[in-house]
Amino acid sequence: MEQTFIMIKPDGVQRGLVGEVISRFEKKGFLLKGLKLLTVERAFAEKHYADLSAKPFFSGLVDYIVSGPVVAMIWEGKGVVLTGRKIIGATNPLASEPGTIRGDFAIDIGRNVIHGSDSVDSATKEIALWFSEGSVNWQSSVHPWVYES
């Protein structure tokens, strides 16, 4: 089953949005397979965002991610990578649709509350980086009420 990496950024934690974010993924029917609150070092944040290292906003982005604790999660389900991105909304919150997390809870691009993997490939890499211990092995007993088969 497909998995994605979701991270509530320091502003989301500070603003008390952890429960709200988890609730949206849970209520959709996705399965929580990993969860931790942690503060990361600069080198770790730089590795996570390595693809963006040439961007002018890179050092500000790293400052932001290391500025406080983040909540790192693995979510699992059919189509969770793409659907997770839809639940999160467009990168710039002023362009994110209402009803998305960024559309409902953010204004500035540099304070957009949440990260989600942009492809199955990045999800695999990000889960390996953030959860070297692996995901938690469990299945929901309501699976047949969420999936036809």
Q: Residue numbers of the site for Mg ion (CB under 5 A)? A: 118
CB of 116 to ligand UDP, least distance (A): 7
118 vs 140, beta carbon nearer ligand UDP = 118
Can 115 be counted among the known catalytic residues? yes
What would the two tokens of residue 126 be? 């990000």
Q: Which residues in the chain belong to E strands, given as ranges?
A: 3-8, 31-38, 70-76, 114-116
Which stretches of 74-114 are DSSP H helices?
Answer: 80-88, 101-105
Give residue number: closest CB to ligand UDP: 91
- Is residue 85 annotated as involved in ligand binding? yes
Q: Which of 82, 70, 110, 91 is nearest to 102 (CA)?
A: 91
Residue 94 as a binder of ligand UDP (CB under 6 A): the answer is no
53 vs 143, beta carbon nearer ligand UDP = 53
Which stretches of 29-65 are DSSP H helices?
Answer: 42-48, 58-65
- Is residue 137 annotated as involved in ligand binding? no
Q: How many residues bind ligand UDP (CB under 6 A)?
A: 9
Catalytic choice (75, 115, 116, 131): 115
